[in-house]
Structure 1
Amino acid sequence: MMRRHARGKRPQFYEETGLDQAMSMILVLASEFSALRDRLDTVERVARDGGLGDAIEAYVPSQDVLEVRETRRQAFLDRLYYLALKDAAEAAEADTPERFAETLTDIAKG
């Protein structure tokens, strides 16, 4: 599945380069953390009421569960690093073989 990005310049709220990206990442983390806290609270209450505390501690995930978790983790990281990945993709699209050769020449002179 190819991720689509909005075209054009996005608004910049802070003068310092990268601060908008950092704020975006912080907001994604805060959102995930909040949802996680609510779900964990629910699990703890259900486990406590049903006497499942020991079963939770003894649980060993199967390979299928590990793969589902990894897929979810990668989706989270894609959201977390969305702006950085978008900027990198835009930079790669703007790059040309001529600019690459010029950069190599500049480095060699350096």
Structure 2
Amino acid sequence: MDDLDPITLAGTRPKGKRPYFFQDPDVERVLSIAMVIAMEHAVTRQRLDALERLIESKGVATRAELDQFQPDADAEAERTTWMQAYIARVLRIVQQETEALESGTKEPPLADLIAQMRDDH
């Protein structure tokens, strides 16, 4: 059992309709969105911690200096573009369900959604 990849297991999908854990599909969508945000935040927090520790250990800047950083116009524009792409990823489930309803197709398997999220990073 130790050789099993938990991400792969989480992405496996039984035959038939997508399993729902709550009776209300809107609650299910909100949960999916919250889980995407939680996953994004956890990865970002780990990377930020690593960067701050490396920067401080090499004497480049202190954490206080990092906290006081003000981006220039170009950096702010890049941040805005990134934020728009991030929100699109967070709301992907809503977009995909809307597209599926409009085209009459089925939702993509959860494994495909996880793979897409991995590719976005």
TM-score by length of 2: 0.56
Please point out which of 26, 37, 40 is paired with 1:18. Answer: 26
Deviations 1:50-84 (A, max 9, x none): 15115424422111111111111111100111122
Query: Separation in 2 of the partners of 1:65 and 1:10?
Result: 44
CA-based RMSD:
2.5
* Paired residue total: 86
User: Identity, % of aligned pairs?
Assistant: 21
- The letter of the residue matching 2:18 is P
* Unaligned segments of structure 2, at least 5 residues: 1-15, 105-121
Alignment of 1:42-61 (within 5 A): 42-49=50-57, 50-53=59-62, 55-61=65-71
Is residue 2:76 matched to residue 1:66?
yes
Structure 1 or 2: more helix by fraction: 1
Deviations 1:11-43 (A, max 9, x none): 141321212212221221121111111111112
Q: Which protein, 1 or 2, shows the higher relative CO under an 8 Å CA cutoff with sep ≥ 6?
A: 2
TM-score by length of 1: 0.61
Q: Could you say which structure has the larger radius of gyration? A: 1
